[in-house]
A and B are shown apart, each in its own frame.
Chain A
Amino acid sequence: MKEYLKPKSGFRTIFFIGKGGVGKTTSSAAVSIALAKKGYNTLIVSTDPAHNLGDVFMVKLNDKPKKIMKNLYAMELDMEKLIKNYLRHLEANLKHMYRYLTVINLEKYFEVLSFSPGIEEYATLEAIREILQEGEKWDVIIFDTPPTGLTLRVLALPEIALIWTDKLIDLRRKILDRRKAIEKIQGERKFVIDGEEYKLPSDEKEDAVMRELLAYKKEIEFVREIVTNKDRTSVVAVMNPEMLPLYETKRAYDSLRKFKIPFNMIVINKVIELEEMHPKLKVRMEAQERVLKEIEKEFKGIDIVRVPMFEEEPRGLEWLEKVGGLIVGS
Chain B
Amino acid sequence: MFEELKKFLKGFFGSFKARSTEYIEFEERELENVFALVLMGSFVGIPSPPTTLVMRLMPHMVREIYVMQRRATDMDDIFGEIASMFEIT
**A198 touching B63 in the complex, CB below 8 Å, given contacts A90-B55, A181-B24, A212-B57:** yes
Q: Is B66's CB under 8 angstroms from A100's CB?
A: yes
- Asked, given contacts A100-B65, A193-B66, A208-B60, whether A216 binds B24 with beta carbons under 8 Å apart, the answer is no
Contact bitstring B30-67, A, C-beta under 8 A = 1, else 0: 01101100110000000001111101111111111110
How many residues belonging to A are interface residues under a CB distance threshold of 8 Å?
Answer: 39
Known contacts being A118-B51, A178-B24, is A96 close to B59, with CB within 8 Å?
Answer: yes
CB-nearest residue of chain B to A181: B24
What total of A-B pairs shows CB separation below 8 Å? Answer: 93
> Cβ of A56 < 8 Å from any Cβ of B?
no
Shortest CB distance A327–B (Å): 34
Interface status of A2 (Cβ within 8 A of chain B): no
Contact of B53 among A94, A168, A171 (CB under 8 A): A168
Chain B proximity mask over A184-212: 1 for CB below 8 Å, otherwise 0: 01100001010000101000000011001
A93 with B49, Cβ < 8 A, contacts A101-B65, A181-B21, A185-B20 known: no
Q: How many residues of B contact A (CB 8 A)?
A: 31
* The 3 A-B residue pairs with the shortest CB-CB distance in the complex, in nearest-first order: A208-B60, A178-B28, A164-B49
Nearest opposing residue in chain B for A200, CB measure: B63
Cβ contacts under 8 Å, A157 to chain B:
50
* Chain B, residue nearest A178 (CB): B28
Q: Does B7 contact A (CB under 8 A)?
A: no
Q: Does any Cβ of B come within 8 Å of A165's Cβ?
A: yes
Contact B62 A100 (CB under 8 A): yes
Interface string of B68-86 (1 = CB under 8 A from A): 0000000000000000000
Partner of A160, one of B27, B32, B50: B50
Given A179-B28, A181-B21, does the pair A97, B49 have CB atoms closer than 8 Å? Answer: no
